[in-house]
């Protein structure tokens, strides 16, 4: 006899948290055309980011500071 099986998949999602180490300048994170800016000691986060998504981060150091890669 024929048998039918049904599979249910759940997409993995993640919380992405970011901030400026030392608080000198700002860090902008962008996901799905939504941007959030962390500056000073402020921590920002994107919740429920799907696996394999693209995120872009732009660092803007305060005057006299450099970005360490």
Q: Say what the pTM is.
A: 0.80
Q: What is the DSSP letter of 62?
A: P
For 4-60, the pLDDT digits (tens) are 999 999 999 999 999 998 889 999 999 999 999 999 889 999 999 999 999 999 999
């Amino acid at each position: 006899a024929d048998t039918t099986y049904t599979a249910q998949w759940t997409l993995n999602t993640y919380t992405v948290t970011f901030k400026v180490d030392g608080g000198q300048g700002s860090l902008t994170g962008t996901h799905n055309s939504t941007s959030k800016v962390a500056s000073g000691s402020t921590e920002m986060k994107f919740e429920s980011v799907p696996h394999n998504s693209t995120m872009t981060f732009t660092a803007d150091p305060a005057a006299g500071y450099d970005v360490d890669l």
